[in-house]
Amino acid sequence: MASRISRGVLRDLLKLRLGGVRQSSNAAAAMTSAAAGGAGAGPKIPHSSKKGRLLTASMLGLVIAGGAYVSTVDEGTFCGLLFQATKFVNPFFALLDAEVAHRIAVSAAARGYLPREKRPDPSILGLEIWGRKFSNPLGLAAGFDKNAEAIEGLLGLGFGFVEVGSVTPLPQEGNPKPRIFRLRQEGAIINRCGFNSDGILVVAKRLGAQHGKRKMEENSSSSSLSDGGIKHGGKAGPGILGVNIGKNKTSEDAAADYVQGVHTLSQYADYLVINISSPNTPGLRKLQGRQQLKDLVKKVQAARDEMQWGEEGPPPLLVKIAPDLSKQDLEDIAAVARNLRLDGLIISNTTVSRPDSVSKNPLVEEAGGLSGKPLFDLSTNILKEMYILTRGKIPLIGCGGVSSGEDAYKKIRAGASLVQLYTAFAYGGPALIPQIKAELVECLERDGFKSVQDAVGADCR
């Protein structure tokens, strides 16, 4: 594959470069011919022309040498080179407005302009949760692909799972712009987007198309199920797809919004998430109270369970909580999760607090949720506490401040079965994904773990 790609690229570049050489040679010949009746000797070639031909020859040599090298490497090495090459694009995005850069990144993923991971994940990273086999525990958090535009391209980057949304029943613009602010030195972002969404119907159409494509691929293969019925990949492709649902800003019946989301989108999801923890929708976080959460989860579970499901059964239902919760809040949420047999929790969303590490940045005064490195300690402490409160019986997804394999490993040891990132991906780009996975393998092997599953909750034992 690498050889075919390199030969095609090489052929096109050769045409361009050789064409330039011919034009330069023809121009020089014409100049000589025009002056032949004059002094009897050819004209002196201008210095700029010499430099041009020298540059052309140099570029041609580089193309030939590069093509020769690429044609000899295996597909895995070539894939690695493509991921490393994306680092050169990151400075360009840094010059753009944060939301414009985000929009371009989503479009690039949707159009297949990002590299695709061809190298299989090491077996040590694999794990099975909810009857699904994850090739690795690293996922992309909700908020990047809000409207399910780029699922295939994002899964192709090598994530073990991708979560889209939050999706609201009706389309809404979200809060006024500007609403995303980079705290680059601190590796953080403040956002107050406010559930900007294309709405359930538009997202359902996109998910349906993706699901249909996946079904066609499954029907053409006789190996869609193996390992005792555990399914490899999910409803959108080789990785697992999560769908995060929210409520409209002006809605007076939050439960009805979430129920509508379940009825319309759950058939396309490998797992569902009730987002009740965004700080940018007025009153949303009040749904984390014990009685409010209990009532909401009951209604959403009932809506999911009353639908017709095949042998796989309904998708797991998770709740995403905030990091700004008291000890009593956490105990209440854990009690509801245990009593109602919730399938999982995501810990955590962004924080409205402003840790000391960002206090000197003038943007700290902007309203909204803070994500990225400054959130790591707070979200990891909440994660560990929730793992203890749920007695390790409920799968947890650790989210908040992950930017390295060591960070992911700390989340796992604190109780996370899976790990998500977003802000670090926005800064580091595609090259960060294989880097984190490789570092995570090193961490597991260093401490003698034979699998990710073995390390879950290690710091709580």
Number of residues written out for the chain: 461
Distances in Å between the Cα of 66 and the Cα atoms of 3, 69, 113, 114, 164 are 12, 5, 21, 21, 38
What residues pair up with 397 in beta bridges, in sequence order?
346, 418
Strands 344-347 and 396-399, bridge-based pairing: parallel
SS (H, E, C) 210-267: HHHHHHHHHHCCCCCEECCCEEECECCECCEEEEEECCCCCCCCHHHHHHHHHHHHHH
Helix ranges, 368-431 (H): 376-389, 405-413, 423-428
Measured CA to CA, the distance from residue 348 to residue 29 in angstroms comes to 71
Which residue among the candidates 135, 277, 278, 371 is catalytic per the annotation?
A: 278
Give me the sign of the Cα torsion angle 266, 269, 272, 278: negative
The residue to which tokens 């980079």 are assigned: 182
Measured CA to CA, the distance from residue 444 to residue 455 in angstroms comes to 8
Give me the sign of the Cα torsion angle 352, 353, 356, 361: positive
Measured CA to CA, the distance from residue 171 to residue 197 in angstroms comes to 5
Asked whether the beta carbons of 144 and 106 are under 8 A apart, the reply is yes
Measured CA to CA, the distance from residue 349 to residue 332 in angstroms comes to 18
Q: Count the neighbouring beta carbons within 10 Å of the beta carbon of residue 370.
A: 29
Asked whether the beta carbons of 99 and 177 are under 8 A apart, the reply is yes
b/e code 246-258 from CB counts within 10 Å (16+ = b)? bbbbebeebbebb
Q: Is 278 a catalytic residue?
A: yes
3-state secondary structure of 112: coil
Distance of CA 244 to the CA centre of its chain: 14
3-state secondary structure of 43: coil
- Per-residue tokens: 186: 């601190």
Distances in Å between the Cα of 35 and the Cα atoms of 21, 29, 40, 116 are 22, 10, 8, 56
Just list the catalytic residues: 278
